Structure 1
Amino acid sequence: MPGARRRLARVTEPVTQAWQRITAVLREHAPATAHAIHPAGPADNIRELERIVGRRLPADLLTWWSVTDGVDDRRDYRAGSLIPTHFMPLSVTRAREEYAGNAEYPDPGCCTAYGEHRKPAGEPAFPYCTALVPVCRSIDGGLLCVDLRPGQDHGCVMTWYASEGAYAVEWDDVTAMLAYVAERLDDHAAGRVPDRPESRVVIDNDGALNWGMAAN
């Protein structure tokens, strides 16, 4: 499970541009993963999720979901891991399901009955925080969530596991997350090998994308 705190500088590359770079490399080098990615779903699904969460979703997340509805994580679990080190993007419907189940167990030290939060964005929460919106899921049940709590880290992407709660900021926002993936895929396509093992792209024999030691 990821544990290192990885904070990257904010990225200004548009989400749509990063996503185009990602899908272009996947189509050529990881066709199994590319095939599993769904086109955008109904906008009503996004509005319903926003209504349930009770907070506006960040613009970059809305943009991402406007071009893709993720992967069927229950059926296409053999399609590799699009997001390091072992996460696949959720559809909006699956994000709503994950949110609804976990939001029943709010952090008593953070979440109030009035929908406010005592802890700022980026702070650990256990068992869950009702301002966390799942965007990716791993086969072992872990989530990457966008943190909608107020604070300077509003919109950051946090790791969550049932046994640990939300405990690590992985990226400053969805924009940074997708830019990171795009850069690593470009490195792979160009034959460049990153120094950090977990940043290394590995394509298995079935054409699925994996990351570093997670692929072994």
Structure 2
Amino acid sequence: MRESWSRIDAWLRTHAPASFRVLAPPADPGTVEKAQMQMGLRFPSDLLDSLACHDGQTEWANVFPEKPPVPVADMVSFWQTSVELAGDDPDLCEPQEDGGEPWWHPQWIPWAHSDCDAQIIDMREGPARGRIGSSQHDDSASFHGGWPSLAAYLEDVADVLEHGGTVGPWAPYLTSDGELWWAFAGETTLNGSPLTPAPTSRKTQRTSS
């Protein structure tokens, strides 16, 4: 996890310094411990390692292909609101009749979110514990097409920044202001301004066979 963050940080410093400045400093350990107590959950080791590198972002920015990581205090706020909204309503907090996920479960950690939608870490017991999925404000949650862990997700982000490619459907670009921006592969403009495919790191660029 720390290696993935080191690679992401290095790429941002070189190619998109304005985006790097959006990343927050490490989280306060006391704040992290308090958050776990408030949520009644123990965070997975990869989330703890991530928070020891950056406590989310200081403002919204499209630095990641999914939702922007948030400070640990915002994780607690989103979690509390979602738990309160779901309450005991079986339509919201219980699996669907077809076996689909509920709208919200108290053992989900919203490590990244915006616009009332979240990228969640599933801490329910079982072989899939720690996997990454998505929670929608107007639909049930889903783990289809997600990652087995936060560590695997951030490693994918680091690999794509260094070597090229996509993270799911998202490809990295640079805006006309030199900021990192993730969009569908093949996009060429953002609000009428050009998008440039993000450069790879020369030392690690893959050679074509």
TM-score class, shorter-chain normalisation, is 0.7 to 0.9
Aligned AA (2:128): D
Q: State the 1:54 CA deviation.
A: 1.2
**C-alpha separation between the residues in 1 aligned to 2:11 and 2:167?**
20
- Indicate if the aligned counterparts of 2:65 and 2:167 stay in contact, CA closer than 8 A: no
3-state SS of the aligned residue for 2:48? helix
1:84 aligns with 2:65: yes
**C-alpha separation between the residues in 2 aligned to 1:197 and 1:165?**
20
3-state SS of the aligned residue for 2:127? coil
Q: In structure 1, what is the equivalent of residue 151 of structure 2? A: 175
3-state SS of the aligned residue for 1:186? helix
**C-alpha separation between the residues in 1 aligned to 2:81 and 2:171?**
33
Q: 1:200 aligns with which of 151, 171, 174?
A: 171
Q: 1:146 aligns with which of 112, 121, 126?
A: 121
Q: State the 1:207 CA deviation.
A: 2.3
Aligned AA (1:31): P
- Indicate if the aligned counterparts of 2:117 and 2:137 stay in contact, CA closer than 8 A: yes
Aligned residues: 182
Q: State the 1:206 CA deviation.
A: 1.9
How do 1:1-216 residues align onto structure 2 when only pairs under 5 Å count?
Answer: 15-72=1-58, 76-77=59-60, 79=61, 81-85=62-66, 87-106=67-86, 108=90, 124-126=101-103, 128-138=104-114, 140-169=115-144, 170-187=146-163, 192=164, 194=165, 198-213=169-184, 216=190
**C-alpha separation between the residues in 1 aligned to 2:124 and 2:167?**
31
- Indicate if the aligned counterparts of 2:156 and 2:167 stay in contact, CA closer than 8 A: no
Q: State the 1:49 CA deviation.
A: 1.3
- Indicate if the aligned counterparts of 2:173 and 2:180 stay in contact, CA closer than 8 A: yes
Structure 2 unpaired stretches of 5+: 191-209
**C-alpha separation between the residues in 2 aligned to 1:197 and 1:58?**
23
- Indicate if the aligned counterparts of 2:160 and 2:167 stay in contact, CA closer than 8 A: no
Identity among equivalent pairs (%): 25
RMSD after superposition:
2.5
- Indicate if the aligned counterparts of 1:157 and 1:172 stay in contact, CA closer than 8 A: yes
Larger radius of gyration: 2
Change beyond 3 A, Cα 1:68–1:124: same
Q: State the 1:83 CA deviation.
A: 2.2
**C-alpha separation between the residues in 2 aligned to 1:195 and 1:56?**
31
| TM superposition outliers: structure 1 runs of 4+ over 4 Å | none
Q: State the 1:63 CA deviation.
A: 0.8
